[in-house]
Structure 1
Amino acid sequence: MTPDPRADAAGHVSLEWDERGGVTVHMDGSPQSHVQPDDPTLLVFEYVQHLALVIEALPPGPLGVTHVGGAGLTLPRWVEATRPGSPQIVLEPDDALTDLVRREVPLPRRHRIRVRPVDGLTGVRALKDDSADVVVTDAYAGGRVPAELVGTAYASEVARVLKPTGLALWNLADEPGMRWVARVVATTAAVLPHVAVIATHEVLKGRRFGNTVLLASSSPLPVEALRRAVARANLPTGLREGAALTKLVAGAKAFDERGMQSPPPPEAGKWRAR
């Protein structure tokens, strides 16, 4: 039997094209990211839209962005399209995934995206101090955020790598109530004290399992620009910062240096709580 060129040899990663020419990257049977090769500004997954609206709120011009987690390289492609010339580093340990995506969904010409085959904590530790404008952590294993990417050791390394006005972003998935996310916020705020979260209203109100984007910086966040961006979002989206965020994460205990992996995702069709 001839191997399917759209899947890795072990069947761990596969690509699925749709009628619009877009492609969804599946890992172990679960959709991981979506890419529209002819229009990298078209973002399908809600959490990617939220990551993008945060980056859009930053001052114009190229940005030095480090991505922890690669998958279809959706966000790096978007950054390249919207902020041409941005130097980007992607830390993705799965060589089979990277090889498949780059072969079947090539990156644009003259891009400045460099993929390093290394895990997030190891890769971030190797980066220079004050070298990134943005660090995006969007990495999952078996549908869960690895523990080491939300512990104090990792948060401290991210803080070291960021420029004084730099911004750290995490894509986090949690159960209704967001108690695990609350602990990540508490952990991160110890080294990057200016924090906020963005998610759909359903997630923020505890109605379903879903993704939350955490923002953290050592400098004040562009709150007014973020409020305007959230108000214009295609999806019903909310921002929590200041007293509202304090209320949301009240009583949360920070993780130690090892962190804790995110809760397992529910079975398909059971993402809503009520």
Structure 2
Amino acid sequence: MNAVEFRADRDRPHLLHLVADQVIQATIDLDDPTYLDAEYMQRMTYLIDAITPTGQPLRTFHLGGGALAMARYIAATRPRSYQQAVEPSQEIIDQLRRYAPLPRGVKVKIRTGDARTQLEAAPENCYELIITDAFNGARVPAHLTTIEFLQQVKRVLSGGGHYTVNLCDGGKLHYLKSCLAGMAEEFDHLTLMAEPAVLRGRRYGNVVVCAAETALPEDDMRRRAAGAPFPCRVVSGSELAKLIGYAKPFTDATAQASPPPPKTWREH
């Protein structure tokens, strides 16, 4: 990754865009850390806000740091939360500390390195929430969707903990289905959120998947999704099983990165 910088928004100077190779990777609001520009991040908050009351600290592990938009949201809505973020780019971390430092009192430990390596080094039963939002360029790295990776996620999650991941796919959704098959094999409960057009294979886009060993707050998530400016579908149970079909989970031996987006695509 080259040419990493933060750029102020032309119309709203308090918005900063993290730009890498001339592509906006993330956006943060320095005045309002609860503002999340990306729709997939907004959908992740449907899970977060449903499982943890506002104000209650939440131990969170972010696999993928970027501009720390989600970490800022959790810190603002749940003060005293302990958070750790893994970011492979030292250049991004340097730019972050220089131009968009975290407010005083916000506890987010930032580590440089590979997300899976840091996950494997984490102690058992350590985090209540693990969020994977990691990309190499515009693709989810292959080693962050396999059965072996998911087993490490389960090991590090505390009892009753939750896992959520941002995935991207389009067309016949072969990649997504294999990711879902692995998560369904490792976790008792699984739910996804996505735009209907993505699930019908009509366009490429983000899919947020949530998993846990305990029942997920699906009704609450559906209410939040229905009231959003851009509503999405919440899919679980038999409907999700039908989507997965006969797909086989990825293993370390068969892993694939997510398919590249079309040139005209901009993540939501």
Q: CA RMSD in A?
A: 1.6
- Corresponding residue to 2:128 among 115, 130, 133: 133
Partner of residue 45, structure 2: 52
Equivalences, count? 262
Name the stretch that deviates more: 156-165 or 14-23. Answer: 14-23
Report the alpha carbon displacement of residue 201 of structure 1 after superposing the two structures with TM: 2.4
Evaluate the alpha carbon distance shift between residue 120 and residue 269 of structure 1 in structure 2; reply closer, same or farther with a 3 A threshold: closer
Partner of residue 6, structure 2: 15
Q: Deviations over 1:120-149 (max 9, x none)?
A: 111001111111110000000021000000
Name the stretch that deviates more: 102-111 or 21-30. Answer: 21-30
Partner of residue 7, structure 1: none
CA contact (8 A) 1:201 1:236 kept: no
2: CA distance between counterparts of 1:180 and 1:245? 15
TM-score normalised to the size of structure 2? 0.93
Partner AA of 2:42 in structure 1: Q
TM-score normalised to the size of structure 1? 0.91
Report the alpha carbon displacement of residue 204 of structure 1 after superposing the two structures with TM: 2.2
Name the stretch that deviates more: 113-122 or 192-201. Answer: 192-201
Partner AA of 2:238 in structure 1: A
Structure 1: state its 5+ residue gaps.
Answer: 1-9
Report the alpha carbon displacement of residue 270 of structure 1 after superposing the two structures with TM: 9.3
Partner of residue 97, structure 1: 92
Q: Does structure 1 residue 83 correspond to structure 2 residue 78?
A: yes
Quick one: percent identity of the two aligned structures? 35
Partner of residue 241, structure 2: 246
Q: The residue matched to 1:180 in structure 2 has which SS? A: helix
Partner of residue 6, structure 1: none
Q: Deviations over 1:192-212 (max 9, x none)?
A: 121111112222232210000
| Structure 2 counterparts to residues 16-31 of structure 1, below 5 A | 16-18=7-9, 19-20=11-12, 21-31=14-24
Structure 2: state its 5+ residue gaps.
Answer: none
CA contact (8 A) 2:75 2:106 kept: yes
Q: The residue matched to 2:260 in structure 1 has which SS? A: coil
| Structure 2 counterparts to residues 211-226 of structure 1, below 5 A | 211-226=206-221
2: CA distance between counterparts of 1:116 and 1:204? 35
1: CA distance between counterparts of 2:75 and 2:131? 15
2: CA distance between counterparts of 1:102 and 1:45? 22
CA contact (8 A) 1:28 1:142 kept: no
Report the alpha carbon displacement of residue 266 of structure 1 after superposing the two structures with TM: 0.8
CA contact (8 A) 2:64 2:85 kept: yes
1: CA distance between counterparts of 2:179 and 2:190? 11
Q: The residue matched to 2:210 in structure 1 has which SS? A: strand
2: CA distance between counterparts of 1:138 and 1:59? 20
Report runs of 4+ in structure 1 exceeding 6 Å deviation: none
Evaluate the alpha carbon distance shift between residue 200 and residue 30 of structure 1 in structure 2; reply closer, same or farther with a 3 A threshold: same
Partner of residue 231, structure 1: 226
